[in-house]
Amino acid sequence: MAGSGCLLYFSILSSLLLFSATITEASQCAISGLPFVRNISELPQDNHGRGGLSHITIAGSALHGMKEVEVWLQTFAPGSRTPIHRHSCEEVFVVLKGTGTLYLASSSHVKYPGTPQEFSIFPNSTFHIPVNDAHQIVNSNEREDLQMLAVISRPPVKVFIYDDWFVPHTAAKLKFPYWDEQCLQSPQKDEL
Amino acid sequence: MAGSGCLLYFSILSSLLLFSATITEASQCAISGLPFVRNISELPQDNHGRGGLSHITIAGSALHGMKEVEVWLQTFAPGSRTPIHRHSCEEVFVVLKGTGTLYLASSSHVKYPGTPQEFSIFPNSTFHIPVNDAHQIVNSNEREDLQMLAVISRPPVKVFIYDDWFVPHTAAKLKFPYWDEQCLQSPQKDEL
């Protein structure tokens, strides 16, 4: 099994780089000029102002000209988490490493997310978030990083953030651009 | 690094199961009744009649009700390959393990794919296939499996297959359903 260690390598590499924001490509916004086959370990990563996060856009709207899907590699340090948020797109997760908790509020409450369901997530697991359902992912493991591939439709993602599960949907705060701030312009309100 | 071996496990598991067609879920077509967080190693896998292939639909149209994206885990034994084909959707690959060759015919020839460009693919690499560009992926390594995650938009995929790179686009053969034959019905011609 000469090659089976590659995934291990992939995982370790991301951990080592977790808190750096190394930019190894000439530009973070270049659609042209990138190699057609790209080495993920050489792609730009950033924490986008969120402690404990490493985000890499593997295939993205602003960076690579994707129009229908985006793929991200995200690593969460122990204790770190996404905000409580929703977005108007499908999202699929593949857990590569680590464990954590998914909190998911289905659409049964019309005015606010409400108390979420709780799911354990684990290595080699997958799940998807229904369009517009509020959710949060927490690395609840005290010692190990949580690393996931995330796939979304309808890029670039527009994220609505809730301070807690009982904030009305209409009071959730839009954050756009969410990633790739330096490449995307904020849309007019009526574009959303 | 207690959990960093999980990817290795993931990879080895798929190799061990490569030539079996174990169906561990009660139904391959069930949208409801599946656990929300699914263990990928327990999902149905099949070779769909293609020697050397293991295909697992991680998140799919027929199986899980996806409408905008699908995610597959595919493992190719040494020497095995996809057909030369095109599809009217975006496709992103993440190479988890192994090496191989991507052949890609850009749209410069109007009537047929023509001689493709050749790219080496390697562990931890990523690339995407432009909509409708004919392509083929070959595990050109004699000893090691090639394992990739594939993401497509516009599921379920409708694939047009070419016998060689000089077959006219109009003579490429439609294969639909491509995966999940038992769950999807062939569309009428004017639906395509």
Would you say residue B26 lies in a domain? Answer: no
B135 marked among binding-site residues:
yes
Specify the amino acid at residue A139.
Answer: N
Percentage of chain A lying above the pLDDT 70 cut:
78
Residue of A nearest to B72 (CA): A94
Would you say residue A150 lies in a domain? Answer: yes
Mean pLDDT over each residue of chain A, to the nearest integer: 84
Tokens at residue A108, please?
A: 């049964």
Where residue A138 sits, what CATH number does that domain have?
A: 2.60.120.10
Q: Which residues of A133-168 are buried (b: 16+ CB within 10 A; e: fewer)?
A: bbbbbbbbbeebbbbbbbbbbbbbbbbbbbeebebe
Residue B18 has pLDDT above 60, yes or no: no
Residue of A3, A59, A120 lying closest to B97 (CB–CB): A3
Residue of B nearest to A102 (CA): B37
Helix and strand counts by DSSP (H, E) for chain A? 2, 13
Q: How confident is the model at residue A59 (pLDDT cuts 50, 70, 90)?
A: very high
Mean pLDDT, residues A127-131 taken together: 96
Residue A116 has pLDDT above 90, yes or no: yes
Residue B10 has pLDDT above 50, yes or no: no
Structure confidence at residue A29 (pLDDT): 62
Any A CB within 8 A of B11 CB: yes
Query: If contacts are CB pairs under 8 Å, which of residues 77-96 in chain A contact chain B?
Result: 89-90, 92, 94, 96
Return the number of CB contacts < 8 Å for A and B: 175
Tell which residue, B100, B81, B101, B84, has the closest CA to residue B144.
Answer: B100
More confident call, A25 vs B143: B143
Residue at token pair 């995330």: A150
Would you say residue A59 lies in a domain? Answer: yes
More confident call, A71 vs B182: A71
β-sheet with B125-129: strand ranges across: A38-39, B125-129, B91-97, B146-153, B69-76, B53-59, B45-46
Tokens at residue A44, please?
A: 């730009």
Residue A91 has pLDDT above 70, yes or no: yes
pLDDT digits (tens, 9 = 90+) for A2-33: 333 334 334 434 443 443 434 444 455 656 67
Residue A153 has pLDDT above 90, yes or no: yes
Query: What angle do the packed helices A6-16 and B6-16 form, to 10 degrees?
Result: 160
Structure confidence at residue B24 (pLDDT): 41
Tokens at residue A91, please?
A: 């999202």
Query: If contacts are CB pairs under 8 Å, which of residues 152-191 in chain A contact chain B?
Result: 152-154
Q: How confident is the model at residue A99 (pLDDT cuts 50, 70, 90)?
A: very high
Q: What are phi and psi of B82, to 5 degrees?
A: -80, 160
Percentage of chain B lying above the pLDDT 70 cut:
78
Tell which residue, B60, B73, B62, B63, has the closest CA to residue B18.
Answer: B73
Beta-carbon count within 10 A of A34 CB:
15
Interchain contact, B90 vs A97, CB within 8 Å:
no
Q: Which of A24-28, A82-86, A95-99, A117-121 has the lowest average pLDDT? A: A24-28
Q: How many domains does chain A have?
A: 1
Structure confidence at residue A32 (pLDDT): 65
- Measure the CA angle with vertex B90, ends B86 and B93; round to 5°: 90
pLDDT digits (tens, 9 = 90+) for B33-74: 789 999 999 999 999 989 999 999 999 999 899 999 999 999
First to last CA, chain B: 49
Structure confidence at residue B134 (pLDDT): 97
Domain span holding position A90: 39-180
Would you say residue A167 lies in a domain? Answer: yes
Structure confidence at residue B19 (pLDDT): 39
The CA distance from A3 to B143, in Å, is: 9
Structure confidence at residue A190 (pLDDT): 52
pLDDT digits (tens, 9 = 90+) for B93-102: 999 999 999 9
Would you say residue B6 lies in a domain? Answer: no
Kind of pairing, strands A45-46 and A53-59? antiparallel
Would you say residue B32 lies in a domain? Answer: no
More confident call, A114 vs A29: A114
Structure confidence at residue A3 (pLDDT): 36
The CA distance from A38 to A59, in Å, is: 10
Q: What is the pTM (predicted TM-score) of this model?
A: 0.84
